[in-house]
């Protein structure tokens, strides 16, 4: 009996060690990976598609696939990719003769993103308006916004 007590104590200690360690392992497996990259792909006059993923290549592949489903094969081209992604946003730009989208990513804060988009807008000759409708947080969360700038906003 005296020999079985140390064995029983050792088995109980091993069981407790495994029981305590196991929940941490299971919990770590349930955590989703945070997106580390952002990419935007565009097809002129038909689509701007974005994706967040764990790498720039995976984000570009995802955005390209989405774009090709909308616009057809060969019509899409990469606009930008950032890793780490930071804050990102898409802005529609309308000039007197043409309209297009500008995409910015990698901004350290939402305020820095909006400042960069505003600066891009202000710099266009023949500007009618710029409109920001979507921004993304570094974790990939979409934030819908409704910000429009016109030439009147930049008069000094």
SS (H, E, C) 18-78: HHHHHHHHHHHHHCCCCCCEEEEEEECCCEEEEEEECCHHHHHHHHHHHHHHHHCCCCCEE
Q: What is the mean pLDDT of the chain?
A: 82
Q: Residue 118: pLDDT above 70?
A: yes
User: Can you tell me the mean pLDDT for 101-116?
Assistant: 96
Q: Residue 16: pLDDT above 70?
A: no
For residues 88 and 14, which has the higher predicted lDDT (pLDDT)?
88
Residues in the chain, total: 156
Q: What is the pLDDT of residue 6?
A: 56
Single pTM value for the model? 0.74
pLDDT in tens, 128-138: 999 999 999 99
For residues 27 and 80, which has the higher predicted lDDT (pLDDT)?
80
């Amino acid at each position: 009996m005296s020999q079985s007590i140390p064995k029983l104590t050792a088995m109980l200690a091993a069981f407790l060690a495994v029981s305590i360690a196991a929940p941490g392992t299971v919990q770590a497996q349930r955590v989703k990976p945070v997106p580390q990259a952002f990419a935007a792909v565009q097809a002129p006059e038909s689509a701007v598609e974005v994706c967040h993923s764990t790498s720039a290549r995976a984000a570009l592949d995802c955005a390209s696939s989405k774009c090709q489903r909308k616009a057809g094969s060969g019509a899409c081209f990469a606009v930008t990719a950032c890793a780490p992604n930071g804050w990102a946003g898409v802005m529609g730009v309308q000039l007197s003769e043409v309209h297009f989208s500008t995409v910015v990513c990698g901004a350290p804060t939402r305020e820095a993103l909006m400042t960069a988009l505003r600066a891009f807008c202000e710099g266009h000759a023949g500007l009618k308006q710029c409109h920001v409708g979507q921004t993304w947080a570094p974790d990939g969360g979409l934030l819908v916004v409704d910000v429009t700038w016109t030439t009147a906003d930049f008069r000094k």
